[in-house]
Amino acid sequence: MPPIPHVRPENVLRRAEELIAVGQPAAALSVLHEHVTSKRSRSSPIASLEPVMLLFVELCVDLRKGKSAKDGLYQYKNIAQNTNVGTIEMVLKKFIELAEQKVTEAQAKADEIQSSLESAAPTSNVEDLDAIETPETILLATVSGEQSRDRTDRAVVTPWLKFLWETYRTVLEILKNNARLEVMYQATALQAFQFCLKYTRKTEFRRLCELLRNHVQNAAKYSAQMHAINLSDPDTLQRHLDTRFQQLNVAVELELWQEGFRSVEDIHTLLNLSKRQPKNIMMANYYEKLTKIFMVSDNYLFHAAAWNRYYNLLRQSAIALAAGQGSKKDSPSVTEADMTKAASFVLLSALSIPVISTSRSRGALVDVDEVRKNKNTRLTNLLGMPQPPTRASLFKDALNKGLLSRCRPEIRDLYNILEVDFHPLSICKKISPILKEIGADPEMEKYVLPLQQVILTRLFQQLSQVYESVELKFVHELAHFPEPFQVTSSMIEKFIMNGCKKGDLAIRVDHVSGVLTFESDIFSSAKALHPGSAAGSAESEVGSVQRLQSTPAEIARSQLARLAKTLHVTCMYVDPSYNQARIKAKEAAHARARAGAAKEHEETLTRRAIIEKRKEALSDALQKKQREEENRKRARNQQLQEAEQQRLLDEHRERERKRMKDEQDRIRQQELKKQLEELKTGVKGIDVNQIDLEELDSNRLRAIKLAQLEKEKNDLNEKIRITSKRIDHLERAFRREELKHLPEDYETQKKQDLETYEQTKEETLKAARQKHKEDVALKHRLSRLVPYFNDFKKSVTEKRHEEFERRRKAADREFEQKKKQRIKEVHERIRRERAEREAEEQRRREEEERIAREEQERIAKEEERRRALAEEKAAREEQRRKLDEQAFRQRQREEGG
């Protein structure tokens, strides 16, 4: 059913335009909002509701009514999402365009206001658009009259920035659960990212990322809805991936590294869901951003691993393009210079991995190792690597791919100095020019500090193989770096202490004699005495440093192992049966293991089931306890809330009572003052200043007023009595004097009246004679026209009579025709109704005959069935009788026999 006239969208739109025309946009918005959110609008056609929504969002933007816009747009989405999603997209795009236009206009206005000031950035320094007014800013705006750029932006631009942010958030909330609106959703998310990047809105960017993350997590909850988001759809997943990659780019641009890492985790989660192979250009961007994130977090190991993955991707893309197997659009554009640069960064980042960990914890505790293992596993999964990277594995992979021949010469020389050559006395001297070149490159300068740690590690590892003790001064001279990368003696000693704490170095510092002693105790840390062993969980290879000879501690430590190995080999050569017995024992152990594997598996499954049951029981008990605790907490909170509500209600009632009393007192005082003013101005004889207002009430005031009025009345009556007495005497004197002059006045008046009468009569007769003369002349002049008038009147009358007769006859003929037509239609209708009744009667009779015939057939079939059953029953009875007779005769024969 169409909407009633007074709520039609056209009428509402017209009413709103009229209100806007008279300068009442707020009233127009109220009318539109009431119509859009009304249940009656659900039955309105979309074509007529669309102009209403366009005007509605325009007014919402002009008046900055974000809440009203959100309510109306939600309602419009519910109305149109199942029929026409195009109109939803158009209205939302209009909403965003208007909000962005307002921000642009506000910026232009702020620039115009501050045209005399020095140009500044196009953003305000407000940290959070949701909480922009602080007490400090309010006080500053109050006590200071200076108009700065920030204050102008805060007053002019920031409100519109806040509204634009609310606009993006509202649109995303509206579009989040409908797959048909997904393209608009992703486009809006990209616009919101550009908003955060353009205006450096870091707080809003974090909230935006969290909002998008919640939308993806909640997509499974609404999977049963119509047009729900389906992350299994490759196109949908690809759009989400594109959005997350843009989110990662913006996070890196804003230097929000934690949010960037969370974006990387989001991308990795979506990649695991994707059935398509991601584009190489996207993955290249992914790994490049990971290198920046890991570099900021000082995770040099995974930073180098990310560079390794990035280089491998570039290399594979180049090979695929060369073989004609890839698409140029989906692959990163790679030149030889790009490959050289990437190879240099791969090798340099691997060289920068600290050999000795710089973290504060020792790292030997189980819980710390477990946390570090979980973290490494998590980061490994983000890089898509089968196992956690190590310094050795990264170098091995780089050498296998020939990175030494592709990278820059100074990086190649640095690798040879640190990882191949053995030169403890000249290592720093050889590296200084290379370090200076690296420090001069802005992109590589960040690797200088970690490289210094690696250089110092190699220096002490190589010195420990040559010297038992060295002077501190000698070490300081060896550890010489170019400016501004020079290290102090305190930094060197701090590095030594950290290495000894981690167990990677075994050095004793004697400050009295100024000597460093390298420990050679056979019971010292094996890790420290083996300079090339695992250090700081960053280097797990053995012999990564060139070694001259084994130390006495290493010889003593490996003596028993070497003796056992030698005896084992000797026994195998001397007694072959020893090896055979060992092989048989091994085979028997394998057989026992195979025989008991099934039973052990069953026991393991049973034990696992028991553990799961116990876990479930424990979890159920814990959940029950939590529910009980939540119920108690909820009941306690409810009681507190009820008590608080009752207290607030009592306070409200008390405040209302006090307010009413104060209001009554105020009104009473005003009334008393008003009455006193009336007394002061209207009633004389009362001294208002001598009246005490505190002791005065309305009754006393009324009594004072009545007493004064009574006094005034008595005074007035006395004055009237005296005046009337005086006037009475004067009147009698006037009349006595008047009697003397009355006859003379009568004669004079009579004479004047006669003269006036004669003059008036003469004037009247003169005017009548003149009027008669003029009328007679007019009659003689018009009498000549009378015959012509009569002829014209007669002709007009005859024509009108003929026209009347003609129209009357035509009307009679039309009446007769319509009468005949009506009679014909009535006869036709009667005939048609009679035919329909006869046909209906015929159908009814045929239906009754059919029902009767079917009933007869049914009765006949029923009789036939009964007759057949009776015959069958008789046949069975006859057969039973014959069988009984046969059985009887058989028994007789058996008894006779």
What residues are paired with 517 via a beta bridge?
Answer: 469, 508
- pLDDT of res. 257: 81
| Nearest residue to 312 (alpha-carbon basis) of 274, 273, 351, 286 | 286
Give the position of tokens 């048609």. Answer: 832
As a whole number of angstroms, the distance between CA 897 and CA 891 comes to 10
Q: Where are the domains of the chain?
A: 574-680, 787-838
| Nearest residue to 31 (alpha-carbon basis) of 51, 54, 50, 14 | 14
As a whole number of angstroms, the distance between CA 691 and CA 671 comes to 15
To the nearest 10 degrees (0 to 180), the angle between helices 202-217 and 234-253 is: 160
- pLDDT of res. 536: 36
Instruction: Answer for the pair 299, 379: CB distance below 8 angstroms, yes or no.
Output: yes
- pLDDT of res. 799: 92
Instruction: Answer for the pair 46, 83: CB distance below 8 angstroms, yes or no.
Output: yes
As a whole number of angstroms, the distance between CA 508 and CA 525 comes to 13
Peptide linkage before 484 cis (omega within 30 of 0): yes
The Cα-based distances of 275 to 231, 238, 278, 385 in angstroms read 11, 10, 9, 18
As a whole number of angstroms, the distance between CA 605 and CA 608 comes to 5
- pLDDT of res. 155: 66
As a whole number of angstroms, the distance between CA 289 and CA 310 comes to 10
pLDDT in tens, 730-740: 888 888 888 88
- pLDDT of res. 863: 92
- pLDDT of res. 217: 81
Give the position of tokens 């800013």. Answer: 137
- pLDDT of res. 455: 87
| Nearest residue to 229 (alpha-carbon basis) of 87, 81, 220 | 220
- pLDDT of res. 653: 87
Question: What are the residue ranges in the chain where pLDDT is below 70?
Answer: 1-7, 114-155, 224, 275, 326-330, 357-370, 520-557, 679-698, 896-897
Q: Would you tell me how many other CB atoms lie within 10 Å of the CB of residue 7?
A: 14
- pLDDT of res. 7: 65
- pLDDT of res. 531: 46
The Cα-based distances of 130 to 156, 559, 578 in angstroms read 16, 72, 82
